[in-house]
Protein backbone atom coordinates (compact mmCIF):
# COMPACT_ATOMS: atom_id res chain seq x y z
CA UNK A 1 0.00 0.00 0.00
CA UNK A 2 1.37 3.40 -0.98
CA UNK A 3 1.50 6.01 1.76
CA UNK A 4 -0.73 9.04 1.34
CA UNK A 5 0.64 12.56 1.36
CA UNK A 6 -0.65 13.07 4.89
CA UNK A 7 0.99 9.84 6.07
CA UNK A 8 4.32 10.91 4.53
CA UNK A 9 4.00 14.30 6.25
CA UNK A 10 3.25 12.55 9.52
CA UNK A 11 6.29 10.31 9.07
CA UNK A 12 8.50 13.33 8.48
CA UNK A 13 7.10 15.03 11.57
CA UNK A 14 7.69 11.92 13.66
CA UNK A 15 11.25 11.59 12.36
CA UNK A 16 11.91 15.24 13.16
CA UNK A 17 10.49 14.83 16.68
CA UNK A 18 12.58 11.72 17.31
CA UNK A 19 15.72 13.52 16.15
CA UNK A 20 14.98 16.32 18.59
CA UNK A 21 14.28 13.84 21.39
CA UNK A 22 17.53 11.97 20.73
CA UNK A 23 19.54 15.19 20.75
CA UNK A 24 17.97 16.15 24.08
CA UNK A 25 18.79 12.92 25.93
CA UNK A 26 20.37 13.72 29.29
CA UNK A 27 19.61 17.45 29.00
CA UNK A 28 18.03 19.36 31.88
CA UNK A 29 14.87 21.40 31.42
CA UNK A 30 13.16 23.42 34.13
CA UNK A 31 9.39 23.77 33.83
CA UNK A 32 7.44 26.28 35.90
CA UNK A 33 3.72 25.77 36.41
CA UNK A 34 1.59 28.05 38.51
CA UNK A 35 -0.53 31.15 38.75
CA UNK A 36 -3.82 31.19 36.90
CA UNK A 37 -2.79 28.19 34.81
CA UNK A 38 -3.22 25.90 37.82
CA UNK A 39 -6.18 27.65 39.40
CA UNK A 40 -8.36 24.57 38.86
CA UNK A 41 -7.82 20.89 39.37
CA UNK A 42 -7.31 20.07 35.69
CA UNK A 43 -3.69 19.84 34.59
CA UNK A 44 -4.26 19.01 30.92
CA UNK A 45 -1.45 17.03 29.35
CA UNK A 46 1.26 18.51 31.60
CA UNK A 47 1.73 15.45 33.78
CA UNK A 48 1.79 13.04 30.83
CA UNK A 49 4.28 15.29 29.01
CA UNK A 50 6.62 15.46 32.02
CA UNK A 51 6.59 11.66 32.34
CA UNK A 52 7.25 11.29 28.61
CA UNK A 53 10.20 13.68 28.83
CA UNK A 54 11.70 11.65 31.64
CA UNK A 55 11.17 8.37 29.78
CA UNK A 56 12.79 9.88 26.67
CA UNK A 57 15.97 10.47 28.66
CA UNK A 58 15.59 14.14 29.53
CA UNK A 59 15.90 15.40 33.10
CA UNK A 60 12.84 17.59 33.73
CA UNK A 61 12.36 19.52 36.95
CA UNK A 62 8.94 20.94 37.80
CA UNK A 63 8.71 24.16 39.83
CA UNK A 64 5.26 25.23 40.98
CA UNK A 65 3.41 28.02 42.67
CA UNK A 66 -0.12 27.84 44.01
CA UNK A 67 -1.39 31.37 44.43
CA UNK A 68 -5.04 30.61 43.73
CA UNK A 69 -5.20 27.81 46.28
CA UNK A 70 -3.32 29.92 48.84
CA UNK A 71 -5.82 32.76 48.46
CA UNK A 72 -8.75 30.33 48.62
CA UNK A 73 -7.40 28.74 51.80
CA UNK A 74 -6.74 32.12 53.39
CA UNK A 75 -10.32 33.10 52.63
CA UNK A 76 -11.64 29.98 54.34
CA UNK A 77 -9.59 30.93 57.40
CA UNK A 78 -10.93 34.47 57.41
CA UNK A 79 -7.62 36.03 56.33
CA UNK A 80 -7.81 38.67 53.61
CA UNK A 81 -5.11 38.17 50.94
CA UNK A 82 -3.08 41.34 50.37
CA UNK A 83 -0.65 42.24 47.60
CA UNK A 84 1.89 45.01 47.00
CA UNK A 85 2.99 45.47 43.38
CA UNK A 86 1.93 41.91 42.61
CA UNK A 87 3.78 40.36 45.57
CA UNK A 88 1.81 38.64 48.30
CA UNK A 89 2.08 40.26 51.71
CA UNK A 90 3.20 37.31 53.84
CA UNK A 91 2.86 37.78 57.59
CA UNK A 92 3.30 34.86 59.99
CA UNK A 93 -0.29 33.60 59.65
CA UNK A 94 -0.16 33.83 55.85
CA UNK A 95 3.25 32.13 55.78
CA UNK A 96 1.82 29.11 57.60
CA UNK A 97 -0.86 28.78 54.91
CA UNK A 98 1.65 29.31 52.08
CA UNK A 99 3.87 26.54 53.44
CA UNK A 100 0.91 24.22 53.96
CA UNK A 101 -0.20 24.69 50.34
CA UNK A 102 3.15 24.84 48.51
CA UNK A 103 4.89 22.20 50.59
CA UNK A 104 1.81 20.09 51.16
CA UNK A 105 -1.42 19.95 49.18
CA UNK A 106 -0.30 21.25 45.75
CA UNK A 107 3.14 19.64 45.87
CA UNK A 108 1.90 16.21 46.89
CA UNK A 109 -0.96 16.32 44.40
CA UNK A 110 1.52 16.88 41.56
CA UNK A 111 3.81 14.13 42.86
CA UNK A 112 0.91 11.70 43.06
CA UNK A 113 -0.26 12.54 39.55
CA UNK A 114 3.21 11.97 38.08
CA UNK A 115 3.50 8.62 39.80
CA UNK A 116 0.01 7.52 38.72
CA UNK A 117 1.06 8.39 35.15
CA UNK A 118 4.00 5.98 35.40
CA UNK A 119 6.78 8.32 36.47
CA UNK A 120 8.78 8.63 39.67
CA UNK A 121 8.69 11.93 41.51
CA UNK A 122 9.92 13.44 44.76
CA UNK A 123 8.25 16.47 46.30
CA UNK A 124 10.48 19.21 47.69
CA UNK A 125 10.52 22.87 48.57
CA UNK A 126 13.47 25.21 48.49
CA UNK A 127 13.95 24.45 52.20
CA UNK A 128 14.92 20.83 51.55
CA UNK A 129 18.66 20.27 51.33
CA UNK A 130 19.19 24.06 51.57
CA UNK A 131 18.09 24.17 47.94
CA UNK A 132 17.10 27.85 47.99
CA UNK A 133 18.81 30.13 50.50
CA UNK A 134 17.19 33.56 50.64
CA UNK A 135 17.53 36.94 52.24
CA UNK A 136 14.55 39.09 53.26
CA UNK A 137 13.11 41.14 50.42
CA UNK A 138 14.30 44.75 50.24
CA UNK A 139 10.72 45.75 51.07
CA UNK A 140 10.31 43.26 53.90
CA UNK A 141 8.75 45.95 56.14
CA UNK A 142 5.78 45.92 53.78
CA UNK A 143 5.91 42.35 52.49
CA UNK A 144 6.86 40.29 55.53
CA UNK A 145 8.26 36.83 54.81
CA UNK A 146 8.99 37.33 51.12
CA UNK A 147 12.49 36.33 50.11
CA UNK A 148 15.05 37.09 47.43
CA UNK A 149 17.26 34.19 46.37
CA UNK A 150 20.83 34.45 47.55
CA UNK A 151 22.25 30.96 47.00
CA UNK A 152 21.16 27.78 45.19
CA UNK A 153 22.45 24.33 46.16
CA UNK A 154 21.40 21.74 43.56
CA UNK A 155 23.29 18.72 44.92
CA UNK A 156 20.05 17.05 46.00
CA UNK A 157 18.46 17.71 42.60
CA UNK A 158 21.49 16.19 40.87
CA UNK A 159 21.12 12.99 42.91
CA UNK A 160 17.40 12.75 42.20
CA UNK A 161 17.58 13.37 38.46
CA UNK A 162 20.53 10.99 38.06
CA UNK A 163 18.43 8.32 39.76
CA UNK A 164 15.49 8.83 37.41
CA UNK A 165 13.23 10.96 39.59
CA UNK A 166 11.37 14.12 38.63
CA UNK A 167 11.90 16.76 41.34
CA UNK A 168 8.69 18.69 42.07
CA UNK A 169 9.68 21.91 43.82
CA UNK A 170 7.45 24.30 45.72
CA UNK A 171 8.65 27.90 45.67
CA UNK A 172 9.70 28.33 49.29
CA UNK A 173 13.14 29.24 50.61
CA UNK A 174 15.01 29.18 53.89
CA UNK A 175 16.24 32.38 55.50
CA UNK A 176 19.41 33.17 57.44
CA UNK A 177 17.87 32.02 60.73
CA UNK A 178 16.09 28.99 59.31
CA UNK A 179 12.84 30.87 58.70
CA UNK A 180 10.57 29.96 55.83
CA UNK A 181 10.16 32.55 53.07
CA UNK A 182 7.76 32.85 50.18
CA UNK A 183 9.47 33.21 46.76
CA UNK A 184 8.08 34.21 43.40
CA UNK A 185 7.87 30.91 41.48
CA UNK A 186 9.07 32.42 38.17
CA UNK A 187 12.15 33.76 39.94
CA UNK A 188 12.77 30.42 41.65
CA UNK A 189 12.51 28.53 38.36
CA UNK A 190 14.96 30.91 36.66
CA UNK A 191 17.49 30.58 39.48
CA UNK A 192 17.27 26.78 39.41
CA UNK A 193 17.58 26.68 35.61
CA UNK A 194 20.72 28.79 35.83
CA UNK A 195 22.31 26.72 38.59
CA UNK A 196 21.70 23.31 36.97
CA UNK A 197 22.85 24.64 33.56
CA UNK A 198 19.49 23.82 32.03
CA UNK A 199 19.14 23.96 28.27
CA UNK A 200 15.69 25.48 28.52
CA UNK A 201 13.45 27.28 30.98
CA UNK A 202 9.75 26.88 30.18
CA UNK A 203 7.14 29.03 31.92
CA UNK A 204 3.64 27.63 31.52
CA UNK A 205 0.91 30.20 31.92
CA UNK A 206 -2.68 30.93 30.90
CA UNK A 207 -1.84 32.81 27.70
CA UNK A 208 -0.25 31.77 24.43
CA UNK A 209 2.90 33.84 24.85
CA UNK A 210 3.81 37.45 24.08
CA UNK A 211 1.84 39.58 21.63
CA UNK A 212 2.77 43.02 20.35
CA UNK A 213 -0.29 45.04 19.28
CA UNK A 214 -2.03 41.95 17.97
CA UNK A 215 1.09 40.37 16.44
CA UNK A 216 2.14 37.16 18.09
CA UNK A 217 5.89 37.07 18.79
CA UNK A 218 7.17 33.54 18.32
CA UNK A 219 10.78 34.57 18.85
CA UNK A 220 12.44 37.49 20.63
CA UNK A 221 15.97 38.46 21.51
CA UNK A 222 16.62 39.66 25.08
CA UNK A 223 16.98 43.23 23.79
CA UNK A 224 13.62 43.02 22.03
CA UNK A 225 12.00 41.61 25.17
CA UNK A 226 13.45 44.46 27.25
CA UNK A 227 12.10 46.92 24.71
CA UNK A 228 8.59 45.48 25.02
CA UNK A 229 8.76 45.93 28.80
CA UNK A 230 10.04 49.50 28.47
CA UNK A 231 7.30 50.37 25.98
CA UNK A 232 4.57 48.91 28.18
CA UNK A 233 3.59 46.22 25.67
CA UNK A 234 4.64 43.64 28.25
CA UNK A 235 2.90 44.63 31.46
CA UNK A 236 1.31 43.42 34.69
CA UNK A 237 1.86 39.73 35.45
CA UNK A 238 3.84 39.12 32.27
CA UNK A 239 6.67 41.40 33.44
CA UNK A 240 8.06 39.07 36.15
CA UNK A 241 7.88 36.16 33.70
CA UNK A 242 9.90 37.99 31.07
CA UNK A 243 12.32 39.22 33.73
CA UNK A 244 12.78 35.63 34.91
CA UNK A 245 13.50 34.55 31.34
CA UNK A 246 16.07 37.31 30.89
CA UNK A 247 17.74 36.45 34.19
CA UNK A 248 18.07 32.79 33.16
CA UNK A 249 19.50 33.72 29.75
CA UNK A 250 22.01 36.08 31.30
CA UNK A 251 23.17 33.22 33.56
CA UNK A 252 23.79 30.92 30.59
CA UNK A 253 20.50 29.10 29.94
CA UNK A 254 20.29 28.62 26.16
CA UNK A 255 16.67 29.67 25.70
CA UNK A 256 13.59 30.60 27.70
CA UNK A 257 9.98 30.03 26.66
CA UNK A 258 6.55 31.32 27.64
CA UNK A 259 3.62 29.19 26.48
CA UNK A 260 0.06 28.25 27.26
CA UNK A 261 -0.34 25.44 29.75
CA UNK A 262 -3.74 24.44 28.38
CA UNK A 263 -2.65 23.58 24.84
CA UNK A 264 -2.68 19.77 24.43
CA UNK A 265 0.93 18.54 24.56
CA UNK A 266 2.14 22.09 24.08
CA UNK A 267 5.21 21.34 26.19
CA UNK A 268 6.31 18.61 23.78
CA UNK A 269 5.53 20.74 20.74
CA UNK A 270 7.63 23.60 22.10
CA UNK A 271 10.56 21.30 22.82
CA UNK A 272 10.52 18.90 19.90
CA UNK A 273 9.31 20.82 16.87
CA UNK A 274 11.00 23.60 14.97
CA UNK A 275 7.85 25.70 14.92
CA UNK A 276 7.10 25.50 18.60
CA UNK A 277 3.91 26.89 20.05
CA UNK A 278 4.82 29.78 22.36
CA UNK A 279 7.27 32.65 22.57
CA UNK A 280 10.96 31.74 22.66
CA UNK A 281 13.53 34.25 23.93
CA UNK A 282 17.15 33.66 23.02
CA UNK A 283 20.20 35.57 21.83
CA UNK A 284 19.76 35.18 18.05
CA UNK A 285 18.74 37.46 15.23
CA UNK A 286 15.05 37.62 14.49
CA UNK A 287 13.59 37.15 11.04
CA UNK A 288 10.63 39.18 9.74
CA UNK A 289 8.45 36.10 10.25
CA UNK A 290 8.91 36.33 14.01
CA UNK A 291 6.68 39.41 14.29
CA UNK A 292 3.96 38.10 11.98
CA UNK A 293 0.79 36.49 13.39
CA UNK A 294 1.41 32.79 13.95
CA UNK A 295 -1.18 30.20 12.98
CA UNK A 296 -3.47 28.79 15.68
CA UNK A 297 -1.75 26.34 18.00
CA UNK A 298 -3.45 23.27 16.61
CA UNK A 299 -2.47 24.23 13.06
CA UNK A 300 1.08 24.87 14.24
CA UNK A 301 1.25 21.33 15.61
CA UNK A 302 -0.02 19.81 12.40
CA UNK A 303 2.22 21.76 10.05
CA UNK A 304 5.36 21.86 12.23
CA UNK A 305 6.14 25.37 11.02
CA UNK A 306 9.77 26.47 11.19
CA UNK A 307 11.15 29.15 13.48
CA UNK A 308 13.56 31.17 11.35
Q: Are 30 and 193 in contact (CB under 8 A)?
A: yes
Question: Could you say which of 119, 147, 186, 276 is catalytic?
Answer: 186
Alpha helices in the chain (DSSP H): 5-23, 46-55, 67-76, 92-100, 106-116, 140-143, 155-162, 185-195, 222-230, 238-250, 266-272, 297-303
To the query of whether residue 67 is one of the catalytic residues in this protein, the response is: yes
Do the bridges between strand 219-220 and strand 279-281 make them parallel or antiparallel, or are there none, so unpaired? parallel
Question: Could you say which of 34, 35, 262, 278 is catalytic?
Answer: 35
DSSP state, residue 204: E
Facing residues of 75 across strands? Answer: none
Question: Could you say which of 126, 128, 241, 276 is catalytic?
Answer: 241
To the query of whether residue 230 is one of the catalytic residues in this protein, the response is: no
* Angle, alpha carbons 196-199-204 (nearest 5°): 95
Q: Are 123 and 160 in contact (CB under 8 A)?
A: no
Question: Could you say which of 65, 67, 126, 209 is catalytic?
Answer: 67
To the query of whether residue 35 is one of the catalytic residues in this protein, the response is: yes
To the query of whether residue 276 is one of the catalytic residues in this protein, the response is: no
To the query of whether residue 186 is one of the catalytic residues in this protein, the response is: yes
Query: Catalytic positions, please?
Result: 32, 35, 67, 186, 241
Amino acid sequence: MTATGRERDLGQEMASALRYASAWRGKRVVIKYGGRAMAGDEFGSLIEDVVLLRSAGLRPMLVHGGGAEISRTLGLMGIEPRFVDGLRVTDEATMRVVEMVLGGSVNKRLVGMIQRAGGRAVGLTGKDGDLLRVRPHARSDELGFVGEIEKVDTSLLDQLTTSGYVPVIGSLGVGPGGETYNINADTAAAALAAEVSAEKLLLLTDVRGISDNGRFRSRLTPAQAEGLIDSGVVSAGMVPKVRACLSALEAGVASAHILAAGEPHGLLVELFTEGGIGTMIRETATSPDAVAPRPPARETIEKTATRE
